[in-house]
Amino acid sequence: MATTATAPTYAGAESHAESGLWSWLSTVDHKRIAALYLGTSLFWFLVGGLEASIIRLQLALPNGNVVSAERFNELFTMHGTTMIFLVVMPLSAAFFNLLIPLQIGARDVAFPRLNAFSYWVYLFGSIFLNVSWFVGSAPDGGWFGYTPLTTLAYSKNLNIDFWVLGLQILGVSSLAAGFNFITTIVNMRAPGMYFMRMPIFTWMSFIVQFLIVLAFPVITIALVFLQFDRFFGTNFYEIAQGGDPLLWQHLFWIFGHPEVYILILPAFGLVSEILPTFSRKPLFGYPVMVYSGMLIAFLGFGVWAHHMFAVGMGPIADTVFGVTTMLIAIPTGVKIFNWIFTMWGGVLRFTTAMKFAITLVALFVVGGISGVMHASPPADLQQTDTYFIVAHFHYVLVAGSMMGLFAGVYYYYPKFTGRMLDEKLGSWHFWLFFIGVNLTFFPMHFSGLYGMPRRIYRYDAGQGWESFNLTSSIGMGIQIIATVIGFWNFWRSRKNGDIAGNDPWGAPTLEWSIPSPPPDYNFAKVPKVTSRYPLWDVKSPALTSEVPHSPTGEERVDIDVGGQHAGRVSRAIGNPPGGPVGASREVPFGPSGPAPTPRRLPTAKELGIPMPNPSIKPFFVALFMTLMFASLIAIHKDKTQLAVVLVMLFAGALTASLYGWLLTPLEDEH
Amino acid sequence: MSTSAVAHAGHPPTTTGLDHRKIAIWAFIGSECMLFASLISTYLIYKGRSRVGPFPHEWWCQTTNATSATGPIAGCPAGALFKPILNIPVTSQSTFVLLMSSLAMVLALAAVENKDKPGWAGPGFGGRLLESSKLWLLSTALLGAGFLCYQAYEFTSFVHEGLTIKTNLFGSSFFTLTGFHGAHVTAGVLWLLTLLAIDVKRGLGPRDALLVDISALYWHFVDVVWIAIFTLVYLIR
């Protein structure tokens, strides 16, 4: 019988996948780089969460005494910087890396070594940023680093230097990855994978890469100005010389607002993959989902000054930016309704991934509505710099981005590791996190409207804020328990989870047609794609009857289903509704089928697929680049000569290793 | 060299038929547009906002802080009078040099693309000159280096005339903008010299045309940015 579940078929160690530290340092495999991104960003999630916990501990009761005002400034600055640049962006990058090639039917990204370089720059940059804790001057100017507070006149220590240089380093990582993924998506789609057949996650990633390559240069320049002001005595933000503090605010938010879409669109993409799978329905309004993503990104470049209503830009600017901001609610609302209509009438399966995904849909609306509220300048003037704003952006970033990314972790963990996450622990993780998040952030709406300012490190009793703050802090405690459970699940399931098989969820897109974890070459045979849902075409054609197909629908047989190559007959292979999780009794795909017979996958060599050689050079280029930036710190230790020598030294090493990289072929000659 | 890894046996053809590097360089250029847009906007926003001189287009008297757009300020002590600092004739020359380097770049690319068609450029000495990719790569790099010499001269003379990156908003934004452009030209010169070294070592032919093509795209982009800078900073008062 063709439906017999084949065991997950692992690429044996004798394929390209070696083990050991060296293989990780020199890897250029997008799946391994994805795993590195995943592990590193989850680690920084714990660090950023620890910072948040101390903040909540300090604010739990009036006149808290846990940390000093200075330390509190460092904590909220590093909490924001960590969560945005070291957690949500790289966690999204983990999914870009894993999924973009798999979803478009490619064997790797366009530039595998550049991909490794992006990761190493991220890792070294994140370490550099956090080294500041150990030299006793962590960044303390807020994640937005407003001038002139961050200029040398008001911040004489190294705090801001670490922040400026750290963000410059991290920007290089994002930009390099952006060029890489744009090229990958434009140029490496499998035959038949037209743009309007790409999975929505790939679409949202594509849009995000454009946001990155267009928004990051602006923050780069804003930071260059600040860096020059601090290091070389220029006047960009020097008020006495006629410098305008608004210059920083404009440049920062021209980057900063697209940045929030960089943070949320990948999560939107993940949710758009998860809801159709667990509703067993094609995504409602696929083209509109694509266009609304584009529209969000486009409008995202025209709303930056809504972060600046309080500076008094005048009625015309306020009106224009208020209106454009409200306009963004339209494509976002379209997405929300499309997700609801996707679920409507579907065969819903409430797996942990689905629960996280639905929660994004529900709770993002809360953050979205408060966002529309302060799109109105008069309302914003009441709310700005209060905890109401804190509530707003935590609803979109924690209850939005993080929920979506956790949904993605639960959904794609099997593809990463070949093992399922434990659904019972997952359920605890979800419910506790759900309760904790709402308990923490919902009361902030009230404390904000009662006038509690952001960024204060203590407050007096008797202003009506005590109960809200205590509730928030209790919620934080629940989030900690949830996170411990979730991370324990992530850790133990690597070895102990159920065997996943190719397609544990009965999902429609190409990444589920290949083994979990995928062999280094991903696709033994490059698939030909004839619709948006190639797997459902083969396994459950009834589901995709209303989705456009190529006239030559027979070509669809070129994908692997259940580890077996699906010939034309395989249209008979039906995958009944309902996935394996908690329901493996009824479903032929999954762990409880006939005893799996482990089968060694052919190696790339046996299949004649050319693979890129591992290379340590991106590691060294990234290392020397980070050290080069880091050496600038010495200038402010009054060791300018040392700084110059070090910068020259590392620049030389950087150039040498870069030439070594560029002059070494990616692959062996054939 | 990692020449056309895509065309290797065993790799599926690219979706667009173009090499990955061609797509990537366009994405990179798009990103660079935003970089220079930020720099140029800042320069324009700060134009006329400097509290002290020297100024780009105006005379300035240090003792009275008076300025004049038309000519020397009467009654200003000799040592305190500063003339408009931008030297448009000299910069016109350097602009011409940079534009000519783009021409040389075009010829270098044509020479590499047609390497396998001897005599394509016509008979005689002129034809042989046009066919020499080494000559045109070298010329492009030298003209780029010439532009950098002009810039070094300009920066030095500005410093002698009392304008440094610390002096005023004009100094900060001018040196940062043109310095960033100069750094891009420097990177381009190194890139061209690397190509020249490869050409000398093993000869660049039609199958390496992409390597020259992407460097040419970068080079022309840097050139176009300079045209914007020359117009907005130097020519428009």
Distance between CA atoms of residues A381 and A374, nearest Å: 8
Name the minimum distance, in Å, from the CA of A105 to any CA of chain B.
11
Res A606: pLDDT: 83
Please identify which residue in the block is written with the tokens 């532009």.
B147
Burial class (CB in 10 A: 0-12, 13-18, 19+), A501: buried
Question: Contact at 8 Å (CB) between A94 and A23?
Answer: no
Distance between CA atoms of residues A393 and A370, nearest Å: 9
Residues 6 or more apart whose Cβ sits within 8 Å of residue A179? A111, A114, A213, B24, B27, B28, B31
Digit-coded pLDDT (tens) for A163-193: 999 999 999 999 999 999 999 999 999 988 9
The residue of chain B nearest to residue A232, with distances taken between CA atoms, is B166
Q: CB contact, 8 Å: B16 with chain A? A: yes
The DSSP H or E segment spanning A204 is: helix A200-232
Res B7: pLDDT: 44
Q: CB contact, 8 Å: B70 with chain A? A: no
Digit-coded pLDDT (tens) for A499-537: 998 999 999 999 999 998 999 999 988 888 888 998 998
Name the minimum distance, in Å, from the CA of A222 to any CA of chain B.
8
- Residue A559's pLDDT band, with cuts at 50, 70 and 90, is low
Chain B, window 153-182: residues with a beta carbon less than 8 angstroms from a chain A beta carbon: 165-166, 168-169, 171-173, 176
Q: CB contact, 8 Å: B201 with chain A? A: no
Do A236 and B165 make contact, defined as CB atoms within 8 angstroms?
A: no
Digit-coded pLDDT (tens) for A197-245: 999 999 999 999 999 999 999 999 999 999 999 999 999 999 999 999 8
Name the minimum distance, in Å, from the CA of B119 to any CA of chain A.
31
Do A234 and B172 make contact, defined as CB atoms within 8 angstroms?
A: yes
For A330-367, give one letter per residue: b (16+ CB within 10 A) or e: ebbebbbebbebbbeebeebebbbbbbbbbbbebbbbb
The whole-chain average pLDDT of chain A stands at 89
Distance between CA atoms of residues B29 and B69, nearest Å: 37
Question: For A183, which of B1, B20, B166 is closest by C-beta distance?
Answer: B20
Distance between CA atoms of residues A272 and A286, nearest Å: 9
Distance between CA atoms of residues A308 and A296, nearest Å: 20
Size of interface A-B (CB pairs under 8 A): 133
Radius of gyration of chain B (CA): 22
Q: CB contact, 8 Å: B38 with chain A? A: yes
Q: Which residues pair with B81 in a beta bridge?
A: B61
Question: Contact at 8 Å (CB) between B58 and B189?
Answer: no
Do A244 and B49 make contact, defined as CB atoms within 8 angstroms?
A: yes
Res B9: pLDDT: 57
Question: Contact at 8 Å (CB) between A2 and A575?
Answer: no
Q: CB contact, 8 Å: B78 with chain A? A: no
Measured between beta carbons, which residues in chain A are less than 8 angstroms from residue B39? 221
DSSP conformation class of A570: G
Question: Contact at 8 Å (CB) between A101 and A188?
Answer: yes
Do A187 and B46 make contact, defined as CB atoms within 8 angstroms?
A: no
Measured between beta carbons, which residues in chain B are less than 8 angstroms from residue A216? 31
Measured between beta carbons, which residues in chain B are less than 8 angstroms from residue A526? 12
Do A666 and B27 make contact, defined as CB atoms within 8 angstroms?
A: no
Measured between beta carbons, which residues in chain A are less than 8 angstroms from residue B18? 187
Res A94: pLDDT: 97
Question: For A218, which of B38, B45, B50 is closest by C-beta distance?
Answer: B38
Do B15 and A189 make contact, defined as CB atoms within 8 angstroms?
A: yes
The residue of chain A nearest to residue B165, with distances taken between CA atoms, is A234
Name the minimum distance, in Å, from the CA of B11 to any CA of chain A.
7
Do B168 and A241 make contact, defined as CB atoms within 8 angstroms?
A: yes
Do B42 and A111 make contact, defined as CB atoms within 8 angstroms?
A: no
DSSP conformation class of A565: E
Res A386: pLDDT: 96
Residues 6 or more apart whose Cβ sits within 8 Å of residue B222? B181, B184, B185, B188
Catalytic residues of A, which ones? 79, 108, 143, 173-174, 257, 259, 261, 272, 306-307, 332, 335, 454
Instruction: Suggest the residue from A115, A179, A226, A607 to mutate for an interface test with chain B (most B CBs closer than 10 A).
Output: A179
Measured between beta carbons, which residues in chain A are less than 8 angstroms from residue B28? 179, 213
Digit-coded pLDDT (tens) for B29-69: 999 999 999 999 999 999 999 999 899 999 999 999 899 98
Name the minimum distance, in Å, from the CA of B189 to any CA of chain A.
14
Can you list the alpha helix ranges (DSSP code H) found in chain B?
A: 20-45, 88-113, 124-130, 133-160, 169-202, 209-229
Digit-coded pLDDT (tens) for B155-178: 999 999 999 999 999 999 999 999
The letter for the amino acid at B189 is: V
Res A593: pLDDT: 38
Do A187 and B2 make contact, defined as CB atoms within 8 angstroms?
A: no
The letter for the amino acid at A207 is: I
- Nearest Cα neighbor of A125 from A73, A177, A162 is A162
The yes-or-no verdict on residue B3 having pLDDT over 60 is no
How many other C-beta atoms can be found within 10 angstroms of the C-beta atom of residue A247? 20
Give the max Cα distance, chain A.
82
Q: CB contact, 8 Å: B10 with chain A? A: yes
The residue of chain B nearest to residue A230, with distances taken between CA atoms, is B166
Digit-coded pLDDT (tens) for A607-665: 888 889 999 999 999 999 999 999 999 888 778 899 999 999 999 999 999 999 999 88
Instruction: Suggest the residue from A109, A188, A227 to mutate for an interface test with chain B (most B CBs closer than 10 A).
Output: A188
Question: Contact at 8 Å (CB) between A199 and A271?
Answer: no
* Across A281-285, A584-588, A597-601, least confident range: A584-588
Digit-coded pLDDT (tens) for A596-615: 445 678 888 888 888 899 99
Measured between beta carbons, which residues in chain B are less than 8 angstroms from residue A254? 38
Mean pLDDT of B212-231: 97
Distance between CA atoms of residues B176 and A256, nearest Å: 23
Question: For B30, which of A214, A224, A665 is closest by C-beta distance?
Answer: A214
Question: Counting every residue, how long is chain A?
Answer: 670
The DSSP H or E segment spanning B81 is: strand B81-82
Do A178 and B27 make contact, defined as CB atoms within 8 angstroms?
A: yes
Measured between beta carbons, which residues in chain B are less than 8 angstroms from residue A228? 165, 172, 176
Distance between CA atoms of residues A259 and A16, nearest Å: 37
Do A236 and B32 make contact, defined as CB atoms within 8 angstroms?
A: no
Res A83: pLDDT: 97
Please identify which residue in the block is written with the tokens 């094609």.
A282
Do B24 and A609 make contact, defined as CB atoms within 8 angstroms?
A: no
Mean pLDDT of A23-51: 96
CA A258, A366, A146 angle in degrees (round to 5)?
40
Cis peptide before A602 (omega within 30 of 0): no
Digit-coded pLDDT (tens) for A379-401: 999 999 999 999 999 999 999 99
DSSP conformation class of A83: I
Name the minimum distance, in Å, from the CA of A238 to any CA of chain B.
9
Name the minimum distance, in Å, from the CA of A120 to any CA of chain B.
20
How many other C-beta atoms can be found within 10 angstroms of the C-beta atom of residue A196? 11
Distance between CA atoms of residues A298 and B143, nearest Å: 40
Question: Contact at 8 Å (CB) between B65 and B118?
Answer: no
Digit-coded pLDDT (tens) for A234-274: 999 999 999 998 999 999 999 999 999 999 999 999 999 99
The residue of chain B nearest to residue A211, with distances taken between CA atoms, is B31
Question: Contact at 8 Å (CB) between A28 and A113?
Answer: yes
Name the minimum distance, in Å, from the CA of B168 to any CA of chain A.
6
Res A561: pLDDT: 54
Question: For B5, which of A175, A247, A667 is closest by C-beta distance?
Answer: A667
